[in-house]
Structure 1
Amino acid sequence: MNNHGKRRTAAVGVGALALASMMSACASANGTAGASDKDCGTDLKFGVLTAFTGELGEFGEVSQNSFKLAINDVNASGELPEGWKTSTVVSDEKTDIQVGLRAATDMMQKDKVSVILGPSSGPIVAMDSVATRYKVPIISQFAGTTNFDAVGGTYLFRTVASDASDGEAIAQYLTDEGKKDIVIVVQNDQSTITAGQKAEENFTKSGGKVVKTIKYNPGQASYQSVVQQATGAKADAVYLAGGQESATTILKEMRDAGVHGKDVIVSADLVVNDVITGVGKDWADGLTGVTAKADAKRPQAKALSAAYEKEYGEAPGIFAENAYDALTLAALAAVAGDSTCGESIAENLPKVSSSGKKVTSFKEGAAALKAGEDIDYDGASGPVDFDETGTVPGSYAVFQVADGKWTVDKFYKAEAIGKGK
């Protein structure tokens, strides 16, 4: 598989919330011009706002590639309403709450986008008030934080399962492997903390024991104290949830301390090729990661994989399917409401993915909508039925490193994991 994983950012702190409030106030002062107007024109404008740099920088390219494939399919379908066109505005949220919030506000206020795609966990949660003010929906392909539950479902959506489901999948794997006790090492950020909490909660429910939980702050040159605490606990395994830069350093220091790669399970963000390169493929052999993943046997996933390889010369990374479905759903919602207005798109997102005729492409779905039928889009990532929090169920894969590559070792269907609630 290729790199690319999931959705980790710093917590939404007081400063970020203050910034969100300030920007919402500015929006009030300037009115709600743009894609929230009743007559929004014929330009279906997608704002691509994802992490191209920062702790999740490696993930931006694969998402952008999938967004491009999806918009190409929309344009080639011949099913857009007469006179409509599509366009995109792209910006880097840098895995940073303030940067993402400012960029989202610019996209809504200045660029007048119809919908925003791509933010990671911290930024999208902080964008709630601005999205509500401008009536522009935001869809993430990898924001798993459980904090999303409190704000999602009206203007915020995600085509990936909650971190709560991650915890279930990780606990299931640990139990399947006969692990009795573990150490949890988590970066002191919003989403990694919730991932660690849910892993602990579900593992203990299954009869396992968490010997020690260690939190660390990123940006350090060394994490020797963290490694010493983890190795000193003498558990069956270590679960590490962190950003790519900090976690790679920790893994190197674990390696130097005599820990074996096969005794470490990592969070989804670390199921990337750079981690293998950073620690060395020999030590990484047996390193395990659990992450949301589409069922590769699904026809829709196979079709996307073939198109991605043809266009980009490599297999799609994790969350390629989720990104593709995010844009496709937004386009179908626009057609369903016969409007490029964000408010209409937000209203119709759940409607095009919950009940009606099963469709598996934009072309098929848009044609059915034009014929007056209700539709249920079943995507490349799986069923994308939004619940009341704007979250979808998700299937999971267990990846292990073998011969310097991440390969699928086990697969858990969505119904086997549930929604983590």
Structure 2
Amino acid sequence: MTRFRATRQLLVVAAVLVVLGACSSPAPVAEPSAVPAPSATPTPLAIPAGDGVLRVGTLFPTSGTLSFLAAAQTAGVATAVKEINAAGGINGEPVLIVAADSGEAKTTKLETSFAALVTKQVDVVIGPSSSVLAQRSIPLAIDAKVPVISPAATFSTLTDVFDDGYFFRTIPAYEQQGFALAETLTAGETPLRIAYVYVYVADAQGSALHDTFVAALAVHDTELVADEVFASSTTNFDAIISNLKAAAPDIVVVGSTYDSDKATKAAIGKIVAAGYTGSKLWLTSLNTGDYSQSFKNGTLKGVRGVIEGAQPSKTFIAALKASDSKLTSYRYAMEAYDATMLAALAAIVAQDDAGEAIAGSLYDVSKGGVKCLSFVECLEVLTTTNDIDYDGVSGTVNFTPDGDIEPGYWGFYTYDGENKFVFTSGGAFG
């Protein structure tokens, strides 16, 4: 067990025990045994458990409703592997890609595909794209001792899962945008009055962002002037609009998820009609979308939005197109690329391509050492020290003890006259 995972387990168990004091329904959790203090750098196994060939499994939705996300991530992995192999591979052996379809949540394709990947001796899995499927993959990863690195799963609940050190993500968690919003909205010299209107759903995404946003605003000595909740079934927003008018905010932020699409559109329409137009209205990552067919032209012109992830450079887009000339969307490609690079570097530092060794080394290669910005540059650093800090095309990708990345990169968007969002700027927050 590595240093960061032992620490994480102790912290999570402590949190669970606190909750148990107030709620008797969950089963008690056994306290983990003590672990010895580790060295500053990972200690390689005396006899590597891997077979000397790094096999990268991909688990992207090549079928189902999210299939539009697969091509970019597939190209991201392929681009990374091409660069790694051009530099000599891992221990002189080329890295291999083993692809499988994650399917969608309503099927058991994920479980079937994961089992197939394990049979083909993959050492790490990049994917899945869905947060629901990512959660289902965690027990499979633990059982197989194969780490899963998702480039796209953002749900807050994934941080709270006991994954035993086998789940990571190179995309920031959904609630982290609270830091980006708070810092951006309080950056001016004149304090703004900010209201938050959000939907509460069963998976608690809305409340997770709410709590982070409120805490982040407090750091900037700012409080919400209105804090309004609606349900995914809400059709009447009169009370919420009345409360907003009474509070007279300068900015209204709407936090809602894909599961509340109908209510979200209704809420946005009512809020705009109440006079919160242009930059007075901010949308969040799970409702910043194309509304060109939902509202008449100009309705959302100037409205702002925030979405996780950086924008790819022209150079990186060219590299992706060399892997897939038909590629037109690049979402999560950079995160998939970085996930692959981190796995390869973890195998090198651990001197072992086995999944368990990679899982134990991922945290250490992501932060705290000598910075390197490419695979070749990291190889140069590794000639003198094993203590590296890979910063990738998607940002700093520093893993936390929970397998999240922090800070996370968030892009800011502005709606045009056709109610489509256009990238404006971005940065790392959290």
- Taking structure 2 as the reference length, the TM-score comes to 0.72
Paired residues of 1:186 and 1:242 also in contact (CA < 8 A): no
Aligned residue runs from structure 1 range 2-401, under 5 A: 39-51=49-61, 58-94=68-104, 96=105, 99=108, 102-103=111-112, 105-119=114-128, 120-150=130-160, 151=162, 154-176=165-187, 178-203=192-217, 206-216=222-232, 224-225=235-236, 227=237, 230-234=240-244, 236=249, 237-243=252-258, 246-247=260-261, 250-251=264-265, 254-255=268-269, 258=273, 262=278, 263-272=280-289, 274-279=290-295, 281-294=297-310, 303-308=315-320, 312=325, 317-366=330-379, 368-369=381-382, 373-393=386-406, 394-401=408-415
Q: SS at the partner of 2:298?
A: helix
2:15 aligns with none
Partner AA of 1:286 in structure 2:
G
Partner AA of 1:89 in structure 2:
A
Task: Indicate how the Cα distance of structure 1 residues 390 and 250 shifts in structure 2: closer, same or farther if over 3 A, else same.
Answer: closer
- Distance, in Å, in 1 between the alignment partners of 2:368 and 2:385 is 14
Task: Indicate how the Cα distance of structure 1 residues 253 and 271 shifts in structure 2: closer, same or farther if over 3 A, else same.
Answer: closer
- Distance, in Å, in 1 between the alignment partners of 2:106 and 2:381 is 39
- Distance, in Å, in 2 between the alignment partners of 1:83 and 1:176 is 50
For the pair shown, the structure with the greater C-alpha radius of gyration is 2
Query: What is the CA-CA distance between 1:242 and the residue it aligns to?
Result: 1.1
Partner AA of 1:308 in structure 2:
L
1:19 aligns with none
Task: Indicate how the Cα distance of structure 1 residues 122 and 373 shifts in structure 2: closer, same or farther if over 3 A, else same.
Answer: same
| Identical pairs, percent | 23
State the number of aligned residues: 366
Paired residues of 1:121 and 1:191 also in contact (CA < 8 A): no
Partner AA of 1:411 in structure 2:
G
Q: Which moved more, 1:277-286 or 1:348-357?
A: 277-286
- Taking structure 1 as the reference length, the TM-score comes to 0.73
Task: Indicate how the Cα distance of structure 1 residues 250 and 358 shifts in structure 2: closer, same or farther if over 3 A, else same.
Answer: closer
- Distance, in Å, in 1 between the alignment partners of 2:158 and 2:211 is 15
- Distance, in Å, in 2 between the alignment partners of 1:197 and 1:98 is 33
Paired residues of 2:195 and 2:244 also in contact (CA < 8 A): no
5+ residue gaps, structure 2: 1-46
Partner AA of 2:361 in structure 1:
N
Paired residues of 2:102 and 2:113 also in contact (CA < 8 A): no
- Distance, in Å, in 1 between the alignment partners of 2:253 and 2:83 is 43
- Give per-residue Cα distances to partners, 1:72-123, cap 9 Å, x unaligned: 22232224322444122121342x2874751464245433321111223333
- Distance, in Å, in 1 between the alignment partners of 2:262 and 2:209 is 18
- Distance, in Å, in 1 between the alignment partners of 2:216 and 2:339 is 29
- Distance, in Å, in 2 between the alignment partners of 1:383 and 1:279 is 37
1:20 aligns with none
- Distance, in Å, in 2 between the alignment partners of 1:261 and 1:55 is 32
Paired residues of 1:203 and 1:209 also in contact (CA < 8 A): no
- Give per-residue Cα distances to partners, 1:205-263, cap 9 Å, x unaligned: 6212333111316xxxxx634x55554543542413211x7526742674388366635
2:29 aligns with none
- Distance, in Å, in 2 between the alignment partners of 1:253 and 1:53 is 32
Task: Indicate how the Cα distance of structure 1 residues 140 and 78 shifts in structure 2: closer, same or farther if over 3 A, else same.
Answer: same
Aligned-CA RMSD value: 3.5
Task: Indicate how the Cα distance of structure 1 residues 93 and 368 shifts in structure 2: closer, same or farther if over 3 A, else same.
Answer: farther
- Give per-residue Cα distances to partners, 1:154-178, cap 9 Å, x unaligned: 1111112333421222233444582
5+ residue gaps, structure 1: 1-36, 218-222
The structure whose residues are more often helix, as a share, is: 1
